[in-house]
Amino acid sequence: MDIKKVVEMDGGMGSSSFLDHVSAGFPLQGIFDFAEGEKSSLGFMELLGVQDFGSSLFDMVQPPPSTAPPSSSSPNPTVVTKMESPELLNQPATPNSSSISSASSEAVNDEQVKVEEQEEDQQKTKKQLKAKKTNQKRQREPRFAFMTKSEVDHLEDGYRWRKYGQKAVKDSPFPRSYYRCTTVSCNVKKRVERSYNDPSIVVTTYEGKHNHPSPIIQRPSLAGVPLMNNSVGSNFAMPIQGTISHYNHHQQQQQPPFVNCLLQPMNLHCNYGSTNAAAYLHERRFCNPGPALFKDHGLLQDIIPSHMLKEE
DNA sequence: CGCATTTGACCAGCGC
DNA sequence: GCGCTGGTCAAATGCG
């Protein structure tokens, strides 16, 4: 069972095909082991949640270690986090949490208000929508994406989604589905598509932040795996620690290079992986890793800040 | 009946 | 300007 997570923080353009970015694949592999247990209701988007629900996913983005990630031959889940953001690239040494998250989350929060207002207008008339679009370029929310090897397209992440569109993807036989959070005033969207390189891989791209808790009742425990609840979301640590490397896109070479954070989720599962709802919920269906994985803290310590480890 | 999904049409952005 | 592509809308349809 492989899982690849990709963080795509596209602050502006968003015109690039995400699949194009991920299609080249990432050399690193890790192990994403999950304990068996009840499905967590925690939504993956909580990782992106606003201040009320925990630290932003981007809080978890840590400066890359100086060492290149070891190329693992493990067939186990691979988590690949990719951040694509010119702003971030300008401060590559500190995808540090606070700076990034504060910037991104605040921007999003402010933007959400605007978006909500705009959405009201949009619902009134389409003409008004056109006017807005013509007057200003549409700004995109920060996006977070991950790749999951899965038979199911739509991953259960604890939130309710409504499909509002489907489009054929260029150079891919698989269509891309567009989902929107069904919660009123929550403008989080996500796209789901399959990799044309590996049809077994589902690429899910989230855009925006949920401004509400997961609508699904969450279970109190997860087989000994600590859950992140909404009030202590900061405990979450998306396994976004890893090596940052430039990724040369094979098709859209004109695009600025983005950062790949290659993850080693196997080391994270006990402490953080459980909060990675979508990936976790999905992956745990297929993987039942051995206990030995839990013991490998050497690599974990290499890629996870010590303070994060202490939070377990 | 209410909600979710499907699907064709429409629009904006971008490259040529 | 034109065509392509991504993204969204909204009517039609399906389903529980």
DSSP secondary structure code for residue A131 in this structure: H
Task: Supply the pLDDT for residue A168.
Answer: 86
Q: Which nucleotides on strand B sit less than 7 A from a protein beta carbon?
A: 3-9, 11-15
Q: How far is the CA of A166 from the C1' of B4 (A)?
A: 14
Alpha carbon distance A61, A8 (integer Å)? 12
Q: How far is the CA of A178 from the C1' of C8 (A)?
A: 9
CB A28 within 8 A of CB A78: yes
DSSP secondary structure of A225-249: PPPP-GGGGGG---S--SEEEEE--
Alpha carbon distance A158, A308 (integer Å)? 24
Token couple for A36: 């068996």
> Measuring CA to CA, which residue among A100, A66, A42 is closest to residue A284?
A42
Q: Which nucleotides on strand C sit less than 7 A from a protein beta carbon?
A: 4-10
> Measuring CA to CA, which residue among A4, A34, A40 is closest to residue A286?
A34
SS3 A258: strand
Could you check: is the Cβ of residue A73 within 7 Å of any atom of nucleic acid strand B? no
Alpha carbon distance A22, A258 (integer Å)? 11
Task: Supply the pLDDT for residue A215.
Answer: 65
Model confidence over A63-90: pLDDT tens digits? 333 333 333 333 334 444 444 443 333 3
Q: Is A101 left (phi over 0), alpha (psi -120 to 50) or beta?
A: alpha
Could you check: is the Cβ of residue A175 within 7 Å of any atom of nucleic acid strand C? no
Model pTM above 0.85:
no
Q: How far is the CA of A307 from the C1' of B12 (A)?
A: 45
Q: Which nucleotide is nearest to A172 (CA to C1')?
A: C5
Q: Which residues of chain A have pLDDT under 70?
A: 1-141, 155, 215-312
CB A225 within 8 A of CB A48: no
Model confidence over A240-295: pLDDT tens digits? 333 333 333 333 333 333 333 333 333 333 333 333 444 444 444 434 333 333 33
